[in-house]
Structure 1
Amino acid sequence: MGKSFTLVQLRYFGAVAKLENMTAAAAELNVTQSTLSSAMAQLERELGAALFTRLSSKGLRLTPAGRRLLLGSQAFLEEADLLYQAVRDESEALAGELVVGIYSPLAPFKAPVILQAFEAAHPNVKVSFHEGDQESLRQALLDGVCEVALMYDLGVGREFERRMLERIPPHVLVSAEHPRAARREEPVSLREFAQEPFILLDLKHTREYYLDMFKQLGIRPETRHVVSGYETVRSYVARGHGYSLLNQRISMKTTYAGGEVVALGIIEELPPIEVSLVRPVGAKPTRKSRAFERICIELYGKASG
């Protein structure tokens, strides 16, 4: 016999899951807190599972069962809306909100371009980008904070499915005043820089990716500065504090701190980074997130071959 939970209960559940607070969710839904609490208790009884962990600070956290329900209910509720539109003979144009995860160093390059293309194709969908590092995006996907994420392949395990868009090789970044910058068209060996100060982009999984390159070549970098901002790395390099390894190339050579940087190709065959669309395995995607994926593939997918 099927369970008898309602669409209203699922919508209430989605609001509570998003805000992680019963009072805030009741205010957003314009219902009393007692009504919302009763609906959540009934939903948990029908499903036979606790959906939230109640914290002492009156906040809430999704349980594993709650995360599974959130991942599955988003597409279900969207289909219910489309059924309503079909019965009323209304347009099935996509509408509503979509939260997409994006790896912070990718955001300045990709987010504005994708957003412009997506809004042109689907003007009734409000897209919000949830920026973070690789680890926080993994957790955001598992917690249902975002449906899909644009991120590197680093640290992405078998609990996720990936659609690779681009492979981006690493490059050496030096100041425009560096002796090697005058021959910028000629690739360099990473070994040439073994004795120079190295500036490391310090993000989880990313730092290991760069440091492993040195290990592959049997050299040890002279790490002078460890910073967490992509543009900070570029600014340090431009001001002559050392060289760095990066993947994304920026057409603008001038940095925030002034001075210019030059990207140099690398002779050694070092592993590229893969930019991928990532979602949890088993999560049924909404039509909005599928539309977002199609836009990304149209913009960047051809670069994957």
Structure 2
Amino acid sequence: MATNYSLRQLRYFVAVVESGGVAQASRHLNISQPSVSVAVKELETSFGMQMFVRQRSSGMTLTPVGQRVYLHALQLLKHAREFEQRALGENDVVAGEISLACFETLAPLYAPGLIASFKERFPDVTIRLHIGAQEKILEGLRSGAYDLAICYVQGLSASIEHVALLPDLYPRAVLPKRHRLAAHASLSLSMLADDDLILLDIWPSNEYFLTLFDDAGITPRVAYRVPSIELVRGLVGQGLGFSVLVTEPPHAMTFDGQKVVTVPLTDRMIPSRTVMAWHGSAALTRLTRAFLHHCQAVIEIPAHIAPPEGYVAAPIPPGFTSRPSKAKLST
């Protein structure tokens, strides 16, 4: 028996799953709520199965069969994007849709400029941007939800291909403006050993920062574990401790009007590496390859987070990252 469904219905269904509800999916898709609801209901009717449990208190939850359909839908939508990209590429046209994920701390600094400059060159390209933690990005690359991801190399598995987007970056101390060491040109972690630490508690950043202290032979006094860079800076600005960050805004002002000072660290540290990643089972298409090359050519280290002149970093140890990428590029 033939079943009628559309890619549009599958996109709306996936958006509802990933957004957590119809209202959230509607905002993400910029489509009316009734249109999203009708598409999902039509999909359930076409296949004769209930994909969601709808409850007033907890919203929409996938049924077991809905979870399986969701995974199948991700793969089908991935193949549809690849089909579109390759078909357009037959006529040397750079067009189609890219599903791009970006690690949450990197996104504000890099994603807007990269997307805007690429669309200026190729206005017929649609880039769907997804922001999330590293776990979500890895899951999305494996499932086919994302074509590409801008993230840190830490935590990538051997199945994820990647190429560097930026030279290696190095962590720096973030201090309250009135901190006793704020006027120093550089610091070592040992000079801050007795201060409270405000830890950016997002994996793999949290593991990376704590490793820096372990390597320096210091047990940090973690006062707060928080999930956002701006909240870290806000707590530091109020004098509640110091932090160590790699990526941060170019301005010294926190959201609540305080000021922080960023000081280079002299410790020989493992660098942080920003990469473009994709699942190794798929070759890049003409479109995704064009976006990757564009990002490599355009992206720059902001002056405020560039390493100090003459800094020598510790090498990345074996096993700390996945193997060097042997990128599979298709034409």
**SS of the counterpart of 1:282?**
coil
Cα 1:102/1:67, change in 2 over 3 Å: same
- TM-score, scaled relative to structure 1: 0.77
Alpha-carbon distance, 1:82 to partner:
4.7
Please state if 1:76 is matched with 2:75.
no
The equivalent of 2:150 in structure 1 is: 150
SS of 2:131's equivalent in the other structure is strand
Q: SS of 1:267's equivalent?
A: coil
Contact 1:97/1:125, CA 8 A, preserved across alignment: yes
Q: Aligned residue for 1:216?
A: 215
Q: Is the 8 A contact 2:81 2:98 kept in 1?
A: no
Q: Alpha-carbon deviation of 1:288?
A: 2.5
The equivalent residue for 1:117 is 117
Q: Which moved more, 1:211-220 or 1:294-303?
A: 294-303
Return the TM-score normalized by structure 2: 0.71
Partner secondary structure for residue 211 of structure 1: helix
Q: Work out the CA distance in 1 between the residues paired with 2:192 and 2:216.
A: 12
Matches within 5 A, 1:187-198: 187-198=186-197
Structure with a larger share of its residues in helix: 1
Amino acid at match of 1:267: T
Residue 254 (structure 1) aligns with: 253
Find the aligned partners of 1:171 and 1:100 in 2 and give their Cα distance: 28
Matches within 5 A, 1:237-276: 237-276=236-275
Q: Deviations over 1:116-164 (max 9, x none)?
A: 2111111111212100011111001111111000000111010100111
Q: Which amino acid aligns with 2:240?
A: H
Return closer, same or farther for 1:153/1:112 CA change in 2, 3 Å cut-off: same
Q: Please identify, of 212-221 and 67-76, the stretch whose mean Cα deviation from structure 2 is larger.
A: 67-76
After superposition, the C-alpha distances for 1:93-115 in whole angstroms (9 at most, x for unaligned) are 43333220000001110011112
AA aligned opposite 1:177: R
Q: Which amino acid aligns with 2:171?
A: P
Name the larger-Rg structure: 1
Counterpart amino acid of 1:243? F
**Which amino acid in structure 2 is aligned with residue 238 of structure 1?**
G
Count of residue pairs the alignment pairs up: 270
Verify the 8 A CA contact 1:197 1:241 in the aligned structure 2: yes
Matched, 1:101 2:101: yes
The Cα RMSD (Å) is 3.3
Distance 2:98 2:163 in 1: 19
* Contact 1:171-1:245 within 8 A present in 2 as well: yes
Which residue of the partner structure matches residue 61 of structure 1?
A: 68
Find the counterpart in structure 1 of residue 54 from structure 2.
none
The letter of the residue matching 1:215 is: D
Counterpart in the other structure of 2:23: none
Compared with structure 1, are the counterparts of its residues 56 and 249 closer, same or farther at alpha carbon in structure 2 (3 Å cutoff)?
Answer: closer
The residue aligned with 2:22 is none
1:286: how far off? Answer: 3.1
What amino acid does structure 2 have at the position aligned with 1:75?
A: E
| 1:292 equivalent in alignment to 2:291 | yes
For residue 155 of structure 1, give the secondary structure of its aligned residue in structure 2: coil
Is 1:180 aligned to residue 181 of structure 2?
A: yes
Q: Summarize the Cα distance change of 1:291–1:28 in structure 2 as closer, same or farther, 3 Å threshold.
A: farther
Q: Is the 8 A contact 2:81 2:97 kept in 1?
A: no
**AA paired with 2:232?**
V
Matched residues in 2 for 1:165 and 1:237: separation? Answer: 30
How far did 1:33 drift?
A: 4.7
Structure 2 residue aligned with 1:46: none
Q: In structure 1, how many angstroms separate the alpha carbons of the residues matched to 2:177 and 2:300?
A: 32
Please tell me the residue identity of whatever aligns with 1:119: K
> Is 2:288 the counterpart of 1:281?
no
